[in-house]
Amino acid sequence: MNKKEKRNPKESRNQNYEPNKMNTSENSKKKNDKELPWWVELLFVQIGLPDKLLIKILKTQKRAKELINNDKKSVITVLFIITTFSYFYPVIKHSKNKLDCEVVAKNYIVKNKNTIGINKREIKMLSTNFCYGGEEIYEIENLKN
């Protein structure tokens, strides 16, 4: 090994630095030449929506990503609560409708039918039966005024 064949480490660092510097400028040009997302192309280029709206959308999108990254636990908790409510809402709605039907049927029975000798529990049973398709309500005689 001759002294001439040995390289100075400082020279190799400088030589590697220059190509890297040039590559970064080329990479930044490539990054700037990215295509626009389809929704930006459609809404803001083709349709011509104002640029202020695009700026607001992009800021909101950036804030949302930061919020999700910073507060994952709270975001997951909120989504779980919303999912739970949306899952049980139809059950609650159905129950409420049935209870409303029973109240209306009970009022109808008390108002229009002869309820002498029928206690409150039987009236409730008849109203529930009527709401579920029963016809026992028609067996009670109408009041004669």
Model confidence over 64-115: pLDDT tens digits? Answer: 999 889 999 998 999 999 999 999 999 999 999 999 999 999 998 888 888 7
The whole-number pLDDT of residue 17 equals: 53
Q: Measure the CA–CA gap between 65 and 71, rounded to whole angstroms.
A: 10
The whole-number pLDDT of residue 3 equals: 54
* Residue 142: φ, ψ to 5°: -75, 150
Q: Measure the CA–CA gap between 98 and 85, rounded to whole angstroms.
A: 20
Residues in the chain: 145
The whole-number pLDDT of residue 134 equals: 82
Asked whether the predicted pLDDT for residue 140 surpasses 90, the reply is: no
**113 forms bridges with which residues in the sheet?**
142
Model confidence over 33-47: pLDDT tens digits? Answer: 677 788 888 888 889
Contact at 8 Å (CB) between 102 and 120?
Answer: no
